[in-house]
Chain A
Amino acid sequence: MTPRIFTPLVLFLVIGFLIGPFFIIVAASLSGGETLAFPPQGFSLKWVAKVFTVESFQESFAISMLLAIGGTAAALVLGVPASYALSRYKLPFGETIRTIVSLPIIVPGIIVGLALLRYIVVPFGLNITLTLFLAHTALVLPYAVRVVSASLNNLRSDIEEAAVLLGSSRAGAFFRVVMPNIRSGILAAFILGFVTSFNQVPVSLFLSGPGVRTLPIDMLSYMEITYDPSVAALSALLAFMSIGIVFLAERFLGFSRYV
């Protein structure tokens, strides 16, 4: 095989593997049949419509939304000051702190989930929802710190001193001249964190309790019982939601600069 054929073939295969499943899911969700199958049997929107009638989906969607928004917001509340301190001051163990903050990216989620269940939830009887919230905050924190740090590093620190010499307090300088200039970084971190949290499976898998399930976990268990195309329909809807968010972010913020 010559490289002239080989290269496009590899490219085609990679793109196919990456995007293919998405098209299959979309096609399957528009099926007129009773089971999840590909190619779809006939065409209908009934499974898309059914998604909105499944009660547990509504509940777990709300939980996932709250977790994604709340967890990401909490991660930013912790992450913005942390990034600021890490990028502006020579902290003792600064690099160590940076590494620890990045750990949730490196440690497999399944281990985090198991550890939280075995050593936090079971022995201390900690509320599942609270544990989920803490876990998602920790998972999103590395992204928040990374993205916000990137935009802080692009910002000269002497503008804060300039603000102080013009009469502003140190804290005032942060809110008046630092925050406005890292706003798009913070928004980018929020979107990245939201998507990460919303699609999170392995950690959440261990942290499910009666009536408390995130949407992806709920979809898994739904499929175990009911093998109909509504899961595909829901997946497709979620994928479109993510694409929409990322598209808007790119459109208005130049999101890809920060990741």
Chain B
Amino acid sequence: MSDAPFLSLEKLTLAYGDTVAVKDLDLSIRKGELVAFLGPSGCGKTTTMRSIAGLLSPASGAIKLDGADITRVSANKRSVGLVFQSYALFPHLTVFENVAFGLRLKKLPAAEIESRVTAGLKSVGLSNFSARKPGELSGGQQQRVALARSMVMEPKVLLLDEPLSNLDARLRLEMRTELQRVQKETGVTMIFVTHDQGEALSLADRIVVMLNGAIEQIGTPEDIYNRPISRFVADFVGFENIFAVEGGKLKAGNGPIDLSGSLPPDTAGLAWRPRMVTLGSGPFQGTVRGASFSGSTREYLLDTPLGAIKAEEDAALAARETGSAIAFDLPVEKAARLKKFG
């Protein structure tokens, strides 16, 4: 993995007719990285991916890949592979011919096609299925054919659209391992699009969180999970107690609340996960509104002057009664500091 950008998007603006889907997006990706585009539907992640593939021409901006400007290079000449969410296998062709499709278009010698397809199918564990038609395969198998079909082309970048979302839990784990293995073995630069934070956290080297056609935050899974920088990202990765900060004070339901300790001036908000809330002691008072048991933990919903607070405690501790008064603390040193509170 070198530090020079391998794929870069520069001031990329993408539009469908008059509707701008992505605006002035800047992003560089290094060779061999596994990057996730994470965001809710409509955030522009799929649109961005389609523009990298060449299926959508940018309204403005540039896309550079491996030192060349590919903004105006047509999709069939970009060396970019895409595994579609629906897999998009050719129903009239056998598994073998599906995988061979691109190689035949390259007019490679038959012996080479044969050996590359065989190797490709072997690597996804489908050697025995080469004579089948896609309709005779399960969803997971179809996806692996689609993966092999893209990989035998030795693309510079492999794009995957929601690669795990159509699979059941067991296959999801299998496919995740499969993708990581392929990425490690071939060193291909991979970008996948997902709306599932768990998928992004577990699979990616780096996550690009998108919202409303713009990048909200870029970071490692640890960065995104532990140090979200905006209210949206904090909410997206499971911070349930999120407050704006104004003039060093917490802006809550009943007016500003002083905080212990000082905050950097650019702090726009603070966010706590339920398990970061201290229960049983602290400067704040609340009432237990409800509780839910989830095996290893108990989650409480508190009615407080700050508003509703979600807190979590080890289930080994005694359960707190609904209706009882409780002291709690929101420790500032544990909180995620948000720089953007839009």
Contacts and interface: CB of A to CB of B under 8 A. Distances in A.
A44 interface: no
Interface string A157-169: 0110111111111
Interface range on chain A (Cβ under 8 Å from partner): 10 to 19
A156 interface: yes
B76 A169 contact: yes
B84 A181 contact: no
A176 B149 CA distance: 16
A177 interface: yes
B106 A167 contact: yes
B101 interface: yes
Interface in B75-100: 75-78, 80-82, 84, 86, 88-92
A254 interface: no
A165 B90 contact: no
A166 B90 CA distance: 12
Contacts of B91: 155, 159, 181
B102 interface: yes
A158 B88 contact: yes
Centre residue among B54, B90, B91, B149 by max chain A CB count within 10 A: B90
A16 interface: no
Nearest to B149: A166
Contacts, number: 62
Nearest to B55: A161
Interface string A214-233: 00000000000000000000
Contacts of B81: 165
A180 interface: yes
B105 interface: yes
B53 A177 contact: no
A180 B94 CA distance: 13
B234 interface: no
A166 B86 contact: no
Nearest to A162: B88
Contacts of B146: 162
A166 B102 contact: yes
Contact of A158 (B78, B84, B150): B84
B330 interface: no
B102 A167 contact: yes
A177 B76 contact: no
A164 B266 CA distance: 48
Given A164-B75, A167-B76, A168-B76, A156 B55 contact: no
A156 B134 CA distance: 14
Centre residue among A155, A177, A181 by max chain B CB count within 10 A: A177
Given A163-B101, A167-B106, A158 B86 contact: yes
Centre residue among B82, B84, B88, B89 by max chain A CB count within 10 A: B88
Contact of B84 (A162, A167, A168): A162
A168 B105 contact: yes
Nearest to B92: A180
B153 interface: yes
Interface string B36-73: 00000000000000000111000000000000000000
A165 B88 CA distance: 11
B90 A163 contact: yes
Interface string B137-175: 000000000100110010000000000000000000000
Contacts of B80: 165
Contacts of A158: 84, 86, 88
B92 A181 contact: yes
Contacts of B86: 156, 158
A169 B89 CA distance: 17
A208 to B, nearest CB: 44
B105 A166 contact: yes
Nearest to B53: A165
Contacts of A155: 91
Nearest to A181: B92
Given A181-B91, A181-B92, A164 B76 contact: yes
Interface of B: 53-55, 75-78, 80-82, 84, 86, 88-92, 101-102, 105-106, 146, 149-150, 153
10 contacts: A155-B91, A159-B89, A162-B84, A162-B146, A164-B55, A165-B55, A165-B75, A167-B153, A177-B90, A181-B90
Given A161-B55, A167-B77, 8 more contacts: A158-B84, A159-B91, A161-B82, A162-B82, A162-B90, A162-B149, A165-B78, A166-B105
7 closest residue pairs by CB, A with B: A166-B102, A162-B88, A158-B88, A167-B105, A180-B92, A159-B88, A164-B75
